[in-house]
Amino acid sequence: MSQQINEQQQYVSLPYFGIPKLIPYIRPHYKRILGMVITCLIGSGLGVLLPLFQQYAINHFVALGTLDTMGWFVLLYLTIIVAQAAINTWCSYIGGEIEMYMTRDLRRAGFNHLQTLSFSYFNQNSVGYIHSRIMSDTNRIGGLISWSLMDGVGNITYMVGIFVAMLLLNWKLALIVLLIVPVASAAAAFFEGKLIKLNRRVRELNSRISSNFNEGITGAKTTKTLVAEERMSENFNGTSREMTHTAVHTSHYRQLFGSTITFASYMAVSLVLWRGGHITMQQLMTLGTLSAFTTYAMNLMEPIQWTVNAISDLITVQVNVERFTRLMETESDVADTPEVIEKYGDTFHPKKENWEPLHGDIEFRDVSFKYPDGDEYILEHFDLKVPQGTNVAIVGETGAGKSTLVNLVCRFFEPTEGQILIDGRDARERSQLWLHSNIGYVLQTPHLFSGSVRDNLLYGRPDATQEEMDAAVKSVHADQVIARMDKGYDSDVGEGGDLLSTGEKQLLSFARAILADPRIFVLDEATSSIDTVTEKLIQDAIDHLMKGRTSFVIAHRLSTIRQADVILVVSDGKIIERGTHKELMKQKGAYYNLYTRQFQEEAMQQF
């Protein structure tokens, strides 16, 4: 919440409403934008001409009582109307294209940029916050560049055209009408200021309602077990009532705004009829000119209203522009150097022909580390050599910091000091994509992408054959899961794999990692959601598959890592013990206490 308040405070100081920051995204569409501006200018210019036809008709046909040349006049009038309608339609067509393409490009740029950011960004920003930047903010910016620009150009041109036309017809009467403009503009600015604040509050309340609604659905089981239905309903209804009250208040202001503009229009018409009538009676102005003036006076207030609306939209969208550009200006805590990118390519343009094979020798050399948003060192002057094929197990209490070492190995974070060497070279001398392409990572909480089983397996290796997929799923006994599904490999797993149990998702995650044939395996408590029988089968398969590969296992059940080459015991983010299972048991320290306690708990569960 504090971050959102700061954003609202900062946008006011943006120069030129922040538009210069959008120029790189506007530039590819300049031809469409220029075409829209030109067509809007022509359409508005034709709109200014229409009352002059009215003037001509009254002066030359009605006043003289003749229909000579009436046919040509009607034909020309209809031609202007059709041309204006066609031009306005074309302008709207271009505006729609600009909105869609601009929004697409902004979202694509934002999403691609997110792929380059490190884990720390996602740790510090919620999913809802990031989603709003990519979806809501880009949508409003696209609307600003298209419809707000079109309305602004069209209405300002029309308003200026009306001023010029009235001054040419009768400058004294025009000045009288123009007295209404400052009053109408001031009233419009006042109401728009109120509406901006009210609309902002409505959006905030709408976000809270969406959040409450989401919690009510995703947390339905928890709500029922805690018997919290009444409290959830009260929270939702309270926010809903406040939003309804604010929305009704906003509607009242909007209606009052419209009524004020309508009143100003009729005041302008009244002034024209009052003063213009006198001038016409004195035969200083024709009846046709009075009629054209009346039409101009009536139409003058509408572009003023639209212009104020466009300006208020521009002011409101400043927040969206600032938030989106702030995302695009965010630099990753973990980034390849220009020299590395030049040789190995980047995330979206890899130069795989320059990638060396990865063997799996890893060394921590005098590594100290603290998280970007932290003050305390998690590791200090840490050294560890992990030869190729070594199995490293990391154990400790929940929240002890077991994932820190793994995150550094995978280069999700950079060491604050020191080096991490991969095959004898600093990891920063080669690309992140090269390293990540050689890592198989299975999380404690498995995640599957929306789509079929086959789609999810191919994320691990897009060019895998059916035989290779069969071998991968059989190696971890995931073939039994697929066999139970209606369409086999083509069965839908649901959003995030929600159509499968946690254990089934975990088995498919194992198969996906194995299919990738990585040189480094990382198992982050990967068997904690699997029953003990299946875990034993998978453990045997993993032991076989990991031969010759470097592996890091964050263990939940200590009985599964007794054969590890080295066990690291973590407490409060520090490595307090290291050694083999036998060595650590002899020390009778932290590992000994963890192991014996867990062994006793498992023994008690058998009775």
Q: What is the pLDDT of residues 543-577, one digit of tens each?
A: 767 778 899 998 777 877 888 899 999 887 778 89
Q: Phi/psi class of residue 329: alpha, beta or left (left: φ > 0; alpha: ψ in -120 to 50)? A: alpha
The model's confidence at residue 13, banded by pLDDT at 50, 70 and 90, is very low
The model's confidence at residue 455, banded by pLDDT at 50, 70 and 90, is very high
pLDDT per position as a tens digit, 496-555: 888 888 888 888 888 898 888 889 988 887 666 667 776 776 677 677 677 788 999 987
The model's confidence at residue 104, banded by pLDDT at 50, 70 and 90, is very high
pLDDT beyond 70 at 18: no
The model's confidence at residue 1, banded by pLDDT at 50, 70 and 90, is very low
In angstroms, the CA 363 to CA 386 distance is 6
Give the pLDDT score at 499.
87
Mean pLDDT for 236-241 is 82
* DSSP E strand boundaries for 4-115: none
Query: Taking Cα atoms as reference points, which of 406, 454, 453 lies closest to residue 554?
Result: 406
Indicate the range of 71-80, 135-144, 245-254, 429-438 predicted with least confidence: 245-254
Give the pLDDT score at 552.
92
pLDDT per position as a tens digit, 321-372: 888 888 888 888 888 999 999 999 988 889 999 999 999 999 999 999 888 7
In angstroms, the CA 366 to CA 250 distance is 61
The model's confidence at residue 235, banded by pLDDT at 50, 70 and 90, is confident
In Å, how far are 162, 304, 311, 551 from 260, measured between CA atoms?
Answer: 21, 12, 18, 73
Give the pLDDT score at 9.
39
Q: Which residue has the higher pLDDT, 446 or 429?
A: 429
Cβ-based neighbours of 263, under 8 Å, separated by 6 or more:
none
The model's confidence at residue 207, banded by pLDDT at 50, 70 and 90, is low
Give the pLDDT score at 153.
87
Cβ-based neighbours of 334, under 8 Å, separated by 6 or more:
118, 411, 412, 413, 414, 432
The single-letter code of the amino acid at 38 is I
Beta-bridge partner residues of 392: 552, 566
pLDDT per position as a tens digit, 580-602: 999 999 998 889 888 888 777 66
Three-class DSSP category at 438: coil
Per DSSP, the residues of 459-510 read TT-TT--HHHHHHHHHHTTTHHHHHHSTTGGG-B--GGGTTS-HHHHHHHHH
Average pLDDT of the chain to the nearest whole number: 83
The single-letter code of the amino acid at 2 is S
Indicate the range of 93-107, 191-205, 489-503, 530-544 predicted with least confidence: 530-544
Give the pLDDT score at 12.
40
Give the pLDDT score at 215.
67
CB 279 within 8 Å of CB 195: no
End-to-end CA distance of the chain: 51
In angstroms, the CA 219 to CA 395 distance is 31
- Radius of gyration of the CA atoms of the chain, in A: 35
CB 80 within 8 Å of CB 49: yes
Q: In what order do the strands lie in the sheet with 550-554?
A: 439-442, 520-524, 550-554, 391-396, 566-571, 574-579
Give the pLDDT score at 201.
78
In angstroms, the CA 196 to CA 102 distance is 24
pLDDT beyond 60 at 17: no
Task: Return phi, psi of residue 559, to 5°.
Answer: -65, -20
CA–chain centroid gap for 334, Å, is 21
Query: Taking Cα atoms as reference points, which of 410, 415, 496 lies closest to residue 448?
Result: 496
Kind plus residue range of the DSSP H or E element containing 341: helix 338-344
pLDDT per position as a tens digit, 36-89: 999 999 999 999 999 999 888 888 888 777 778 888 989 999 999 999 999 999
pLDDT beyond 60 at 11: no
Q: Which residue has the tokens 């990738």?
A: 516
pLDDT beyond 50 at 485: yes
Question: What six digits make up the tokens of 515?
Answer: 């299919």
Long-range pairs, 307-313, Cβ under 8 A, ≥24: 307/152, 307/155, 307/156, 307/159, 308/185, 308/188, 308/189, 308/192, 309/151, 309/192, 310/148, 310/151, 310/152, 310/155, 311/152, 311/192, 312/192, 312/193, 312/195, 312/196, 313/143, 313/144, 313/148
**Secondary structure tally for the chain: helices H, strands E:** 23, 10
Mean pLDDT for 124-132 is 76
Query: Taking Cα atoms as reference points, which of 119, 126, 164 lies closest to residue 3?
Result: 126
CA triple 165-166-171, angle to 5 deg: 125
Give the pLDDT score at 363.
93
Mean pLDDT for 453-469 is 90
Task: Return phi, psi of residue 522, to 5°.
Answer: -130, 120
Give the pLDDT score at 323.
81
In angstroms, the CA 24 to CA 19 distance is 10
- Would you say how long the chain is, in residues? 607
In Å, how far are 91, 366, 394, 403, 565 from 523, measured between CA atoms?
Answer: 57, 25, 10, 10, 15
Q: What 8-state DSSP symbol labels residue 285?
A: S
pLDDT per position as a tens digit, 242-294: 888 888 887 887 778 777 777 877 777 787 778 777 787 877 788 888 888 88
pLDDT per position as a tens digit, 210-230: 667 766 766 676 666 666 677
pLDDT beyond 50 at 380: yes
In angstroms, the CA 22 to CA 560 distance is 54
Question: What six digits make up the tokens of 259?
Answer: 């009524």
Handedness of CA 135, 138, 142, 143 (dihedral sign): positive
Task: Return phi, psi of residue 28, to 5°.
Answer: -65, -15
Give the pLDDT score at 534.
66
